[in-house]
């Protein structure tokens, strides 16, 4: 009498892979936040040491960053933050704001709107999938095809209007700049790459800047609050059209309404909130008082 063999469920390719090629384990939400914050702080220490010419302290900060996994580990943590179960892709908020206006204006999903995404981590986010945008993506440490490895602050300036953009995205980029004047320089530089405003009509959407920051940059900083941030952006020629704040993030859409200012705005760095739990996020411009 033949012995019946017990059927085993079919094994997938993933189950048959050796341990060396299995997907890396997911980082917990708490560990993700801790890693990102730690690297932010070390980048600030490195910038401060470089500004003072302290090569020993700068090398020590670099070693600590490398020990944490460097920019690659930081980007892995950031990518995990874009997963739906971690709050998702920040460009979904942008598309919630723009989709109706894009359709109402008669624009179709033909890639006619030029968008520069600074600090791009993925080529499959909501904006990329929408079809409305001709995407140019850059990042300091490209994670794959479709993302140019480039420093926004060293990107060659446009030589023709056709090389400028209808929209720039700075999602969790400005806060990674380690010093206040560097953040001011980055905001000023967005004006070089955006198309010039052709109308002051409140219904116009472009040119515009999509900006995402940790909420604590404006809700828990000694030197920055919502009112001051809006005054800074207004001085640069931007008008706020949309904003949204969550427990962790603040999202803004700023429409460019004025030409490049004749000179950089000046804002004094002054304490707006006291307390030992505050952070030191601030924005200054060359020539600003410190």
Q: How many CA atoms lie within 13 A of 26 on its CB side?
A: 9
Contact 237, 261 (CB under 8 A): yes
Rounded CA-CA distance 25/162 in Å is: 44
Going by C-beta distance under 8 Å and a sequence separation of 6 or more, which residues neighbour residue 179?
Answer: 44, 47, 48, 51
Rounded CA-CA distance 285/224 in Å is: 14
The token duo for 183 is 């953040």
Going by C-beta distance under 8 Å and a sequence separation of 6 or more, which residues neighbour residue 202?
Answer: none
- The per-residue pLDDT for range 110-158, each reduced to its tens digit, is 788 999 999 998 899 999 999 999 999 999 888 788 999 999 999 999 9
- The per-residue pLDDT for range 24-47, each reduced to its tens digit, is 455 566 666 676 667 656 766 776
Query: Mean of the pLDDT values across residues 100-106?
Result: 78
Query: Mean of the pLDDT values across residues 277-286?
Result: 92
Work out whether strand 133-139 and strand 113-118 pair parallel, antiparallel, or are unpaired.
parallel
- The per-residue pLDDT for range 150-180, each reduced to its tens digit, is 999 999 999 999 999 999 999 999 998 989 9
Give percent of the chain with pLDDT exceeding 90: 50
């Amino acid at each position: 009498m033949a012995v019946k063999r017990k059927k085993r469920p079919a094994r997938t390719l993933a189950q048959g892979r050796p341990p060396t090629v299995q997907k890396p384990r997911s980082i917990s939400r708490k560990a993700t936040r801790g890693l990102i914050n730690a690297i932010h702080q070390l980048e600030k220490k490195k910038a401060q040491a470089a500004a003072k010419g302290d090569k020993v302290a700068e090398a020590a900060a670099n070693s600590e960053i490398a020990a944490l996994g460097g920019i690659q580990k930081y980007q892995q943590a950031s990518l995990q933050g874009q997963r739906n179960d971690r709050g998702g892709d920040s460009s979904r908020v942008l598309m919630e704001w723009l989709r109706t206006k894009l359709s109402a204006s008669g624009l179709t999903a033909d890639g006619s709107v030029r968008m520069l995404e600074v600090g791009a981590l993925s080529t499959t986010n909501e904006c990329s999938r929408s079809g409305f945008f001709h995407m140019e993506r850059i990042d300091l440490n490209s994670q794959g095809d479709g993302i140019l490895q480039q420093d926004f602050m060293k990107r060659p300036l446009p030589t023709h209007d056709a090389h400028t953009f209808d929209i720039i995205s700075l999602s969790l980029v400005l806060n990674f700049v380690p010093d206040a004047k560097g953040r001011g320089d980055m905001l000023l530089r967005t004006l070089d790459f955006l198309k010039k405003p052709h109308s002051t009509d409140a219904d116009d959407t472009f040119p515009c800047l999509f900006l995402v920051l940790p909420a604590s940059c404006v809700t828990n900083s000694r030197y920055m609050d919502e009112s001051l941030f809006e005054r800074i952006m207004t001085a640069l020629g931007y008008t706020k059209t949309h904003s949204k704040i969550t427990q962790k993030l603040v999202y803004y859409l700023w429409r460019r309404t004025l030409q490049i200012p004749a000179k950089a705005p000046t804002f004094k760095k002054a304490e707006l909130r006291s307390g030992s739990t505050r952070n030191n996020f601030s924005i200054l411009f060359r020539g600003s008082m410190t």
